[in-house]
Structure 1
């Protein structure tokens, strides 16, 4: 068991390399597999913490390629003998109850050289499949970023230059506009870029973030998924304990996006946000970095 980092996230591998892994990856992307099991002593051996609720993981295929992002929704550690029916069904590998799970996994882990008893500690991770992931910006992103930033809503609610030129986009993909980090939001299945999410700065344990979605990517929770992944990246790579997005009081759509991603409104900020040519009350939406 190993935990290599892919796209700055802990990766997760399913099954053994080859047909087994390809089959399980397909079960997740095209089926209803929404849980996986591991042995607690493998985490201890690798010096890795158990996954935690809210963490995003990079699922990789046989080539080590990041093919989807998983969002952890629940984690349980129990004795092998106490794994419940609920988990067997969520794992969706053909086991219809806990007894069938124990039989199939005893065979699998024994074949892998593990000694399994009723008291062996089993980590059960439940997850959702996110429809979008983040990747580093690349030079060719300038074309679609320039096109997206002609959108009136992006110009209304963000601080992008107006007019927004191709030169602005080419500069942004290189220097991120002075932000600590910026990522392309891409659809998981097609890799189509649909927006940008970024980390503005980290001050006094608070990471300030922002995001926008192009017109062709709206309505599919791209920004909410991006916020979930960004929260994990901040947890892994900074000392921040809180993630904060400042959102215009009048920007109802963006406020709903933050709420869908698990952020709560903490009150008005002393700063303001743009609403076209006006500046309006900025609301602080916050979440724990995790």
Structure 2
């Protein structure tokens, strides 16, 4: 399938460092455990709706959520208008599916919400976007932590390959709620995989929203989603980076921690592949971190080739997708 159009955005405000407090004991406990799990020294947050009218510690937890809803509306409008006028008209008249993906599912309880409409928008999906893309056939929401965008892409690829729909619109969002971010990274660490880094490492969680329009109409980005590779699979993880996949020119890794999969991705090999750690370059955005690989292609001069994006999960497995790109 082809990525016909996409747009992403993030907050324009500053980064706020998290400071544990006795007023939020459990959150502080998860913070310390997440630092240990990721071998880090601090955690910064960049969220929609922050400002100088609230204490920084409270602002990180409950910013003005309406800015996030407006950002989703704006990014969807941008993705739609990145299409040509002919393609926009075709999308409106064609069989179009809508998939809404986020990391946490029903998360309105973590927001300071006083509107039932806004609560439904965050917990289910924004109905105004369904109207924007004239979706009449199918819509759904996928909640899958770090994997939700890739799962939505796999679903979109099946729908397009089976000729069920002509276009699939995926809107994805990541809310960097501190207690959820820390609990998601609170994982047991294998002592054999611990790397003693001398440098101070600060994790950065950045809220982002994105809209992606897929179709079978040829464009500059061709996408193919790969299979899920479980941790205990007999075939070594290195096999997927070599052999039949020797045409890979760029490797992008969306995981936060430097585990064995990270070391395999960034290890030296015979072929001189370029390697990019997306969280270290742009900050982590949960399910939207893999999409930053397309942002990387936009921001850098490339001559054309094949990019593989690795999306690890929390139990040792991973998914991946390949992008064939043209020079810019």
* Structure-1-length-normalised TM-score: 0.30
Greater Rg over alpha carbons, structure: 1
TM-score scaled by structure 2?
Answer: 0.27
Higher helix share: 2
